[in-house]
C-alpha cells in the first residue's frame, strides 16, 4: 500500500488536472509544420516573445539554460526572451544580455499571483515549460493566468492545456539534449552547446582579492560542498587532499568556502603553505574566481557546470547511479571536453554510495594526468 503522503499528492494532482487542464485559450496549432524527419516545427515569426518557466531554483540548471537563450537570440534577435525562475536563477542571469526580463518565483501565493498577472499583461507568445513531472494545482493555475498563445512542455502528452509535448526518453542522455529538442521545435538546427556566464567588475574585483593572495602560476580550486552529506567532502579528507596536492604540484590550492562554513573550515587554511579559503557569497563572484583558475575539483554539479562554461580542466566526483534508470551522472555530467568524471565504486552495494569513498589517490592520479 502506498504511503499516505503519496496518496495525498496523487489526489491533489488528479484534482488539479480535472479542474484546470482545459484548453480555453485560442490555440496556435495552425503554425505547426513538420521538417524532413517529420518532426514538428513552430513558425516562430508569428510570435513576439517566449517565456522559459524553470521551477527548480538550481544554479546548474540555469547555467545550462543559457544555451537556448543565446541560440534563440542568434536566429530571432527581435524575439523577447523572458524567464520565470527563483532567486538563484535570477542571480545567474544578472548580466545576461540574451534575456530581456527575468520574473522571480517567491514561493508565496500572494506575491506569485502578482507575477503571473504581470506576465499575462505581457501577452506571452510561447511558453517553454521545463517541469518534467505531473503539474500540480498552482503550476496549472499559473499557466492558465499567464495564458500564452502556445504552450510547450516535456512529458505532457496526457495534458490538454499543452499544445505540444516533447516526450523523448531523455533519462540516459545529457540534459543539453532537452534543450536541443526544444530548439529544433523552434526551427534551430545548428546549435552551439556551450554555456554562458557573465559577471561585472564588482564580482571580478572580489574574486581578484583571492587570486592576488598567491603568486603561483597554477591555481587549483576545490569545492567540497554539495546539496547532500553523501556528496560533500568530510573535513579530514579535504585537508588531506589539499595537502597532498601541494606536495605533488607547484600550485596554490583554493578551497571554495561559503561564509557560513568559514568557522568549520578555517583550520584547513594555511596561506604560508599555499592553501587558501575563498569565502564568496555571490555565485557570480565564485564564477569570476573559477574563470581565473586552472583546475577545478568538485562533487557539486553547479560548480561543474560553471567550470564547463569556461572550459576549465575539471575533476567531477559523482555518486554511483549504475543501478538506476535515470542516469544522473550522465544527465548532469560535465559538458566539457577538458573534464574527467570519477564515480563512487559501490562494489555492487558493498560500499556506501558516498563521495568520501572515492580515494584521494584516485583524484591525485587524475590530477597528474592533466597537463
> Is residue 191, in this structure, part of any structural domain at all?
no
The range of the structural domain enclosing residue 154 comes to 4-185
Quote the pLDDT of residue 13. Answer: 78
- Is beta strand 313-318 parallel, antiparallel or unpaired with respect to 80-85? unpaired
Within 122-231, residue ranges assigned H as helices are 137-146, 176-185, 201-211
**Which of residues 150, 185, 220 is at a domain's end?**
185
The candidate with the shortest Cα–Cα distance to 40, out of 156, 181, 171, is 181
pLDDT at 231 over 80: yes
> Is residue 229, in this structure, part of any structural domain at all?
yes
Count, in order, helices (H) and strands (E) of the chain: 13, 14
Highest mean pLDDT pick, 38-52, 160-174, 289-303: 289-303
Please tell me whether residues 34 and 170 are part of one structural domain.
yes
- Is beta strand 275-278 parallel, antiparallel or unpaired with respect to 252-256? parallel
Give the residue-averaged pLDDT of 7-11.
Answer: 73
CATH number of the domain encompassing residue 98: 3.40.50.2000
Contact (CB, 8 A) for 358 and 317: yes
Query: What are the two backbone dihedrals, phi and then psi, of residue 230, each rounded to the nearest 5 degrees?
Result: -75, -10
Show the beta-strand stretches assigned E in the chain: 32-34, 40-42, 49-53, 80-85, 101-104, 126-129, 150-154, 164-166, 219-222, 252-256, 275-278, 295-298, 313-318, 339-343
> Is residue 193, in this structure, part of any structural domain at all?
no
Q: pLDDT averaged over the chain?
A: 92
Please tell me whether residues 127 and 168 are part of one structural domain.
yes
Q: How far is residue 127's CA from residue 153's CA, in Å, rounded to a whole number?
A: 8
Contact (CB, 8 A) for 136 and 16: yes
Please tell me whether residues 45 and 173 are part of one structural domain.
yes
Please tell me whether residues 177 and 267 are part of one structural domain.
no
Contact (CB, 8 A) for 144 and 132: no
> Is residue 196, in this structure, part of any structural domain at all?
no
Please tell me whether residues 30 and 146 are part of one structural domain.
yes
Regarding predicted confidence, which is higher, 336 or 55? 336
Please tell me whether residues 216 and 347 are part of one structural domain.
yes
Quote the pLDDT of residue 27. Answer: 54
Give the residue-averaged pLDDT of 27-50.
Answer: 76
Please tell me whether residues 95 and 227 are part of one structural domain.
no
**Tens of pLDDT, residues 350-368:** 999 999 999 999 999 999 9
The candidate with the shortest Cα–Cα distance to 129, out of 63, 187, 184, 82, is 82
Please tell me whether residues 163 and 227 are part of one structural domain.
no
Q: What angle do CA 36, 40, 43 make, to 5 degrees?
A: 100
Please tell me the least confidently modeled range out of 75-79, 172-176, 285-289.
172-176
Quote the pLDDT of residue 47. Answer: 94
Per the structure, the count of domains in the chain is: 2
Please tell me whether residues 249 and 364 are part of one structural domain.
yes
**Tens of pLDDT, residues 47-72:** 999 999 998 899 999 999 999 999 99
pLDDT at 2 over 80: no
**Which of residues 138, 157, 185 is at a domain's end?**
185
Query: What are the two backbone dihedrals, phi and then psi, of residue 215, each rounded to the nearest 5 degrees?
Result: -85, 0
pLDDT band for 78, please (50, 70, 90 cuts): very high
**Tens of pLDDT, residues 248-257:** 889 999 999 9
pLDDT at 4 over 90: no
Cα 289 to Cα 96, 137, 247, 309, 338: the distances in Å are 18, 41, 23, 13, 18
Quote the pLDDT of residue 251. Answer: 94
**Tens of pLDDT, residues 155-206:** 999 999 999 999 988 888 999 999 999 999 999 999 999 999 999 999 999 9
Q: How far is residue 257's CA from residue 286's CA, in Å, rounded to a whole number?
A: 10
**Tens of pLDDT, residues 102-138:** 999 999 999 999 999 999 999 999 999 998 888 888 9
Quote the pLDDT of residue 37. Answer: 66
Please tell me whether residues 232 and 169 are part of one structural domain.
no
Please tell me the least confidently modeled range out of 25-34, 38-47, 134-143, 336-345.
25-34
Please tell me whether residues 57 and 149 are part of one structural domain.
yes
- Is beta strand 164-166 parallel, antiparallel or unpaired with respect to 252-256? unpaired
Contact (CB, 8 A) for 195 and 335: yes
- 15: which 3 cell numbers? 484534482
Q: How far is residue 189's CA from residue 166's CA, in Å, rounded to a whole number?
A: 16
* Sheet strand arrangement including 49-53: 101-104, 80-85, 49-53, 126-129, 150-154, 164-166
Please tell me whether residues 17 and 139 are part of one structural domain.
yes
Amino acid at each position: 500500500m502506498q504511503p499516505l503522503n503519496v496518496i495525498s499528492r496523487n489526489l491533489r494532482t488528479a484534482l488539479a488536472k480535472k479542474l484546470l487542464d482545459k484548453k480555453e485559450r485560442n490555440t496556435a496549432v495552425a503554425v505547426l509544420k513538420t521538417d524532413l524527419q517529420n518532426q514538428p516545427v513552430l513558425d516562430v515569426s508569428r510570435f513576439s516573445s517566449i517565456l522559459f518557466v524553470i521551477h527548480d531554483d538550481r544554479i546548474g540548471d540555469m547555467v545550462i539554460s543559457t544555451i537556448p537563450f543565446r541560440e534563440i537570440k542568434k536566429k530571432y534577435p527581435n524575439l523577447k526572451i523572458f524567464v520565470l525562475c527563483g532567486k538563484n536563477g535570477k542571480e545567474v542571469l544578472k548580466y545576461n544580455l540574451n534575456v530581456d526580463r527575468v520574473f522571480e518565483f517567491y514561493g508565496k501565493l500572494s506575491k506569485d499571483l502578482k507575477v503571473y498577472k504581470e506576465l499575462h499583461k505581457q501577452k506571452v507568445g510561447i511558453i517553454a515549460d521545463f517541469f518534467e513531472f505531473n503539474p500540480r494545482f498552482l503550476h496549472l493555475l499559473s499557466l492558465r493566468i499567464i495564458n500564452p498563445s502556445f504552450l510547450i512542455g516535456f512529458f505532457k502528452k496526457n495534458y490538454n492545456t499543452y499544445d505540444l509535448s516533447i516526450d523523448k526518453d531523455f533519462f540516459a542522455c545529457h540534459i543539453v539534449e532537452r534543450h536541443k529538442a526544444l530548439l529544433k521545435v523552434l526551427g534551430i538546427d545548428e546549435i552551439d552547446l556551450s554555456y554562458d556566464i557573465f559577471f561585472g567588475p564588482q564580482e571580478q574585483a572580489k574574486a581578484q582579492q583571492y587570486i592576488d593572495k598567491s603568486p603561483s602560476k597554477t591555481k587549483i580550486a576545490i569545492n567540497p560542498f554539495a546539496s547532500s552529506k553523501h556528496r560533500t567532502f568530510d573535513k579530514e579528507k579535504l585537508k588531506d587532499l589539499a595537502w597532498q596536492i601541494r606536495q605533488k604540484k607547484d600550485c596554490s590550492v583554493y578551497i571554495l568556502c561559503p561564509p557560513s562554513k568559514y568557522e568549520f573550515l578555517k583550520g584547513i587554511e594555511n596561506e604560508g603553505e599555499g592553501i587558501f579559503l575563498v569565502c564568496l557569497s555571490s555565485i557570480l563572484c565564485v564564477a569570476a574566481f573559477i574563470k581565473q583558475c586552472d583546475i577545478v575539483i568538485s562533487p557539486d554539479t553547479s560548480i561543474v557546470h560553471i567550470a564547463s562554461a569556461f572550459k576549465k580542466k575539471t575533476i567531477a566526483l559523482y555518486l554511483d547511479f549504475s543501478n538506476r534508470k535515470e542516469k544522473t551522472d550522465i544527465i548532469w555530467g560535465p559538458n566539457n571536453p577538458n573534464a574527467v568524471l570519477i564515480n563512487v565504486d559501490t562494489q555492487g552495494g558493498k560500499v556506501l554510495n558516498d563521495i568520501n569513498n572515492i580515494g584521494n589517490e584516485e583524484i591525485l592520479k587524475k590530477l597528474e594526468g592533466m597537463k
